[in-house]
Amino acid sequence: MILALLVTTLGFATLIFVQEAASPPLVYGAYYAGTLFMLYLGVRLFLPHSDVLLLPIVTLLTGLGLVMIFRLTYNVEGAQKLALTQAVWILIGSGAMFLLVLFFRNYDRIFDYKYLLAIAAVFLIASTFTPLGYSVNGARLWVDLGPVNFQPSEFARIALVVFFAGYLAEKRDVMAATSRSFLGVQLPAIKYFGPVALVWAASLGLLVFEKDLGSSLLFFAVPLLMLYAATGRTAYVLLGGILFTLGSFVTFLLFEHVQLRVQSWLDPWRDPDGTGFQILQSIFNIADGGLLGTGLGAGFAQTIPEVETDFVFSAIASELGLLGATAVLLAFLAFTYRGTKIALLAEDDASKLLAYGLTAMFALQTLIIVGGVTKAIPLTGITLPFVSYGGSSVVGNFILTGLLLLVSERAGRREAEGLVYRDDPWGSP
Amino acid sequence: MNAHLRRTFYLFVAGFVGLVVMLVYWQVYSREALANNPENGFQTQRSVSSPRGLILAGDGETVLAKSVKRGTATGPVYDRTYPLGEPFASVVGYWSTRYGATGIEISNNTDLSSIAGEPETLDDLINRATGGPQPGNNVVLTLDPGLQELAYQEISASSTGRGAVVALNPETGEILAMATSPSFDPSDIDENYPDLANAPNAPLVDRATQSLYPPGSVFKVITAAAALEAGVSPQQTFFDSGTYELPGYTVNNFEGKDYGEVTFTRALAYSINVIFAKIAVNIVGGEAITQMAINFGFGDPYDDFPLPVSGSSVNSLPPEQWTTGTLAQTAFGQGEVQTNAFEMALVAGAVANDGELMEPRIVREVRSPDGIILDNPTPSVRRQALPQSTASTLNEMMQEVVIQGGFTEAQIEGMKVAGKTGTAESGNGLPHSWWITFAPADDPKIAMCVMIENGGRADRGAMPLAARLMKAYLEDGV
């Protein structure tokens, strides 16, 4: 924890020194460090048996995000305050997480409201089609609520994971049972699959029409993974794969912006100053970093449009190099590892699926955006959890971490009280 | 269920490993190719986002090139400007993100650039380690700013406006002036380059170092040196009948004169082609002349000189394959002999400096931004062109050129001046006007070569021009 704060402070110190930048008021830095430290202590106090590593990783990632956002925007007209705004969002996220920890220790009660949550999620996503919603860069993902604007999909997906976890835990046995087969593939009973498919389709459809490709991909893949985890049936994965191929093909044909994305992924050189500009600038910056990076402040990551949100990883790779970028990926992997471990240790199915779903969402989101900016897969605009600039994303991820901590607390307490004795969960099955 | 969780976790791990592989691909494997991609402007951007060092004239104060800060939306950039413009352009060069770089700007780029090269001082090392602002080092040239400016004005005001002046200190090899005309303003190179590159009078070409011309009679200094080495004495007499018939070639004197019986000294003073041809054919021979030319630097591309130099040449064929006609023509600097003001100034300098040809130098020192001297090359002898006794004999003969030749234009009050004229047939328009000179002849402070393209007779073009520059340098200190 202290190490994570030190790294952040060092990063800021380097930046201020190097760029001769006016220091952001130190008092804000103190607020940030103080808040996260208090949050850490609070969580240790209220959830003494919860996972010890998650919060330090979150601190490290948000701190790194602050450093990068500050570095990328402090001298950009109209955006100098972005790092401060992000810090405020981190405070709000911490607050939300603390409240969660304080009042939702019996978190499994939320599974009783899973249908309500699912409907709320769909409405949240749909809210961008109301007059309050508006578009940024062609994607209609924003809702203007007077003083704050937010991206409802960031919260809707957590609600959906809760729904899927609760529903699948309840129905997983019947869904795993084979009722009929078609062309040798065993199909699940439509009856039980119905609600899942309905929520799934509703949220997906809405997202596709909002042109939010990144979230669509997440909304598609996370329930699929949860379904697989719950039932162990590869049939679902196969079915999902077929649906995915089909769906991708249809969206490719239907939507021009999808065609553009794929085209600029396959051949960005065709239009290097137009559609391929962003991804090429990203690649140039990543390559510019080399093994050790250019050093904080010495790169040209500001040439990438949207660098402080979706492309923040390119800036990290450019200025911290292969070593730094790999270290950051390792931090994300460590979070994924702890999340998976929490799921493995969780006692009941719903908790297991909840922890797993949240972890899978976190890991997939990282893979999708980092894969996108490194041109490993077509680019779909989503944020890098905790690091990218974005209030909804930060608060959403804090809530996600809070839920993981709650799940881990329960398993940890049982273990500590000696109620259960279990083998190493990582041992062979 | 745990088995499924584990399985998908391994999938995620594979995904992360895949991302690292992707990073390795971009950051290690294809890094070089991407950095050099024409769509990638980072290298240029990096080069303009930090200040280059100053280029200063020999007084250590006159600024010839500097980087001027200009704020832009993406941070400060530095524009390269050249306060004194045209007179220094051929030496200083230009630094363009679009058209590359020339002159000292490129030859000393590792000194001037803040990002190229190894750190040289502790401050530099600390700056680099912390990524702080890194101004480049300053390069101090040997050029005398007043003489250089005057030389450029004189040559551009000459009859054709095309030509070159090279002046050096014979004892140290430091170049005091190296001017060429026409020239260009390097500050505006980005806008004007296409026009300059296509202009018929080739303003981008440095006539002092890069062009080659027939030297005509200034080459007789080299023939005379070879003759003295072959045993000819200055008082030895020769007979000039006005023409010299050789198989397939007839030598004539300049303006068809004939001088009768003259000493070798007078033959040089009057620049008598017939006698030089006879001495070359009957006494010295092609190999000795070629060897003497090589001693003076012919055939040497001066690769270690910061600016590109076109090597001078005597003939494309080895001497043993020459006809006597070729040998005769070579003796008075016609035929295939090709050289430039840079080389001929070095010839004058070597005679003036007791036969020692000093290493030509145009960079006096390299200083860190806070004034620490990083590189300060000392004068060194490049070659002993000819023995000291021969050099002093030749020195006296070249003084007689001014006295016996009656070139009052070349004389400087109260000072011995040595020199040699050249009026070289160019095959196209008026002859090129040459004059090599040094003074004071008994203790030379400056050696100079002036060449005016199609400038006509030496004593009407190059010689008075050179005398004005010499006077300005020696009497007024410019």
The answer to whether residue B311 sits within a structural domain is: yes
At B375 the three-state DSSP class reads: strand
Answer whether B16's CB lies under 8 Å from A367's CB.
yes
**A282-291, B142-151, B279-288: least confidently modelled range:** A282-291
pLDDT value of position A21: 46
Residues within 8 A of A (CB atoms), B 26-85 only: 26-28, 30-31, 34-35, 37, 39-40, 42, 45-46, 73-75
B-chain residues within 8 Å CB-CB of A352?
1, 5
Under the banding of pLDDT at 50, 70 and 90, the label for residue A379 is confident
Q: Regarding predicted confidence, which is higher, A150 or B150?
A: B150
Sign of CA dihedral B133, B67, B306, B436: negative
| Cβ–Cβ gap A317/B4 under 8 Å | no
- First-to-last C-alpha distance (Å) of chain B: 94
CA of B40: which chain A residue's CA is closest? A284
| Cβ–Cβ gap B132/A232 under 8 Å | no
Under the banding of pLDDT at 50, 70 and 90, the label for residue A20 is very low
Under the banding of pLDDT at 50, 70 and 90, the label for residue B293 is very high
CA distance A17 to A19: 6
The whole-number average pLDDT for the span A194-214 is: 72
Q: How many CB pairs under 8 A join A and B?
A: 126
Q: Does B4 touch chain A (CB under 8 A)?
A: yes
CA of A372: which chain B residue's CA is closest? B19
A-chain residues within 8 Å CB-CB of B73?
76-77
| Cβ–Cβ gap B131/A18 under 8 Å | yes
Residue pointed to by tokens 């080495």:
B229
CA of A73: which chain B residue's CA is closest? B74
| Cβ–Cβ gap A18/B23 under 8 Å | no
Residue B432 has pLDDT above 80, yes or no: yes
| Cβ–Cβ gap B26/A370 under 8 Å | no
Strand partners, B166: B178, B449
Q: Regarding predicted confidence, which is higher, B426 or A76?
A: B426
Q: CA nearest B350: which of B172, B195, B211?
A: B172
Distance from CA of B66 to the nearest CA of A (A): 23
Q: What are the Cα distances from residue B143, in Å, to B59, B93, B156, B166?
A: 8, 14, 18, 10
Q: Regarding predicted confidence, which is higher, A407 or A427?
A: A407
pLDDT value of position A82: 80
Render pLDDT for A342-355 as a digit per residue (tens, 0 to 9): 998 888 888 889 99
Q: What are the Cα distances from residue B33, in Å, to A20, A98, A287, A295, A331?
A: 33, 49, 9, 21, 30
CA of B28: which chain A residue's CA is closest? A290
Answer whether B223's CB lies under 8 Å from B276's CB.
yes
Q: CA nearest A364: which of A208, A213, A214?
A: A214
Sign of CA dihedral A200, A202, A208, A212: negative
pLDDT value of position A361: 92
Residue B355 has pLDDT above 90, yes or no: yes
Q: Which of A35-39, A241-245, A255-259, B377-381 has the highest mean pLDDT?
A: B377-381
Under the banding of pLDDT at 50, 70 and 90, the label for residue A180 is low
B15 → closest Cβ in A283, A296, A367: A367
The whole-number average pLDDT for the span B413-442 is: 93
The answer to whether residue A222 sits within a structural domain is: yes
CA distance A247 to A300: 37
Q: Pairing between strand B55-56 and B138-141?
A: parallel
Name, in order, each residue with C-beta under 8 angstroms of B43's C-beta and a sequence gap of 6 or more.
B35, B36
Q: Which runs of consecutive H residues, i.e. helices, occur in A177-311?
A: 190-209, 213-231, 234-254, 256-266, 277-289
Q: Which runs of consecutive H residues, i.e. helices, occur in B189-340?
A: 189-198, 220-229, 264-269, 273-279, 286-295, 324-331
| Cβ–Cβ gap A326/B74 under 8 Å | no
Under the banding of pLDDT at 50, 70 and 90, the label for residue A400 is very high
Residue pointed to by tokens 């850490």:
A40
B182: preceding bond cis by omega (within 30 degrees): yes
pLDDT value of position A144: 66
Under the banding of pLDDT at 50, 70 and 90, the label for residue A419 is low
A326 → closest Cβ in B4, B23, B132: B23
Structure tokens at B120: 């040289």
Render pLDDT for B311-338 as a digit per residue (tens, 0 to 9): 999 999 999 999 999 999 999 999 999 9
Q: CA nearest A187: which of A196, A177, A199, A197?
A: A177
Structure tokens at A255: 């939507």
Q: Regarding predicted confidence, which is higher, B236 or A300?
A: B236
The answer to whether residue B206 sits within a structural domain is: yes
Query: Containing domain of residue A125, as a range?
Result: 105-254
Residue A38: alpha-carbon gap to chain centroid: 24
Q: Does B429 touch chain A (CB under 8 A)?
A: no
| Cβ–Cβ gap B12/A228 under 8 Å | no
Residue pointed to by tokens 């409201």:
A113
Under the banding of pLDDT at 50, 70 and 90, the label for residue A9 is low
A286 → closest Cβ in B23, B46, B75: B23
The answer to whether residue B446 sits within a structural domain is: yes
Residue A204: alpha-carbon gap to chain centroid: 17
The answer to whether residue B27 sits within a structural domain is: no
**A46-50, B116-120, B421-425: least confidently modelled range:** B116-120
Residue pointed to by tokens 């450093």:
A67
pLDDT value of position A135: 67
Q: CA nearest B302: which of B252, B352, B357?
A: B357
CATH number at residue B341: 3.40.710.10
CA of A368: which chain B residue's CA is closest? B15
SS3 content of chain A, % helix, strand, coil (to 5): 70, 5, 25
| Cβ–Cβ gap B131/A298 under 8 Å | yes
A-chain residues within 8 Å CB-CB of B12?
333, 336, 340, 360, 363-364, 367
The answer to whether residue A198 sits within a structural domain is: yes
DSSP conformation letters of A7-69: HHHHHHHHHHHHHTPPPPPHHHHHHHHHHHHHHHHHHHHH-TTS-SSHHHHHHHHHHHHHHHH
pLDDT value of position B126: 59
Residue B115 has pLDDT above 70, yes or no: no
pLDDT value of position B125: 58
CB atoms within 10 A of CB A157: 25
Q: Regarding predicted confidence, which is higher, B180 or A61?
A: B180
The answer to whether residue A378 sits within a structural domain is: no
The answer to whether residue B1 sits within a structural domain is: no
The whole-number average pLDDT for the span B13-30 is: 88
Q: Which runs of consecutive H residues, i.e. helices, occur in B180-272?
A: 189-198, 220-229, 264-269
Residue B466 has pLDDT above 80, yes or no: yes
Q: Does B15 touch chain A (CB under 8 A)?
A: yes
Residue A43: alpha-carbon gap to chain centroid: 21
**A109-118, B123-132, B155-164, B263-272: least confidently modelled range:** B123-132
The whole-number average pLDDT for the span A78-106 is: 83
Burial B29-41, CB ≥16 within 10 A → b, else e: eebeebeebeebe
CA of B132: which chain A residue's CA is closest? A18
pLDDT value of position A259: 81
Q: Does B129 touch chain A (CB under 8 A)?
A: no
Render pLDDT for B165-193 as a digit per residue (tens, 0 to 9): 999 999 999 999 999 999 999 998 888 99
Q: Where are the beta strands (DSSP E) in B73-137?
A: 75-81, 95-96, 100-101
pLDDT value of position B123: 60
Q: Where are the beta strands (DSSP E) in A94-233?
A: 133-136, 139-145, 148-150, 180-182, 185-187
Distance from CA of A105 to the nearest CA of B (A): 24
Domain count, chain A: 1
CA of A294: which chain B residue's CA is closest? B131
CB-hemisphere CA count at 13 Å for B222? 35
CB atoms within 10 A of CB B74: 13
Determine the Cα angle at B173 with ends B301 and B286, to 5°. 50
pLDDT value of position B117: 47
The whole-number average pLDDT for the span A160-187 is: 70
CA distance A401 to A358: 8
pLDDT value of position A26: 57
User: What are B387-392's contacts with CB under 8 Å, separation 24+?
Assistant: B387/B229, B387/B355, B388/B354, B388/B355, B390/B225, B390/B228, B390/B229, B390/B355, B391/B350, B391/B351, B391/B353, B391/B354, B391/B355, B392/B354
Residue A100 has pLDDT above 80, yes or no: yes
pLDDT value of position A19: 46
The answer to whether residue B105 sits within a structural domain is: no
B-chain residues within 8 Å CB-CB of A322?
23-24, 27-28
| Cβ–Cβ gap B35/A370 under 8 Å | no
The answer to whether residue B58 sits within a structural domain is: no
Q: Regarding predicted confidence, which is higher, A10 or A125?
A: A125
pLDDT value of position A429: 40
pLDDT value of position B116: 47
| Cβ–Cβ gap A18/B74 under 8 Å | no
Strand partners, B180: B164
Q: Which of A38-52, A71-85, A396-410 has the highest mean pLDDT?
A: A396-410
Domain count, chain B: 1
The whole-number average pLDDT for the span A17-31 is: 55
The answer to whether residue A223 sits within a structural domain is: yes
Q: Regarding predicted confidence, which is higher, B79 or A130?
A: B79
CB-hemisphere CA count at 13 Å for A341? 18
Query: Containing domain of residue B240, as a range?
Result: 146-187+199-360+384-474
CA of A348: which chain B residue's CA is closest? B1
pLDDT value of position A126: 76
Render pLDDT for A127-160 as a digit per residue (tens, 0 to 9): 777 766 766 666 666 666 656 667 787 888 888 8
B440: preceding bond cis by omega (within 30 degrees): yes
CA of B71: which chain A residue's CA is closest? A75
Name, in order, each residue with C-beta under 8 angstroms of B321's C-beta and a sequence gap of 6 or more.
none
Q: CA nearest A401: which of A382, A383, A413, A385?
A: A385
Residue A183 has pLDDT above 60, yes or no: no
Structure tokens at B426: 């160019």
Answer whether B170's CB lies under 8 Å from B352's CB.
yes
CA distance B446 to B438: 6
A-chain residues within 8 Å CB-CB of B26?
283, 286-287, 317, 374-375
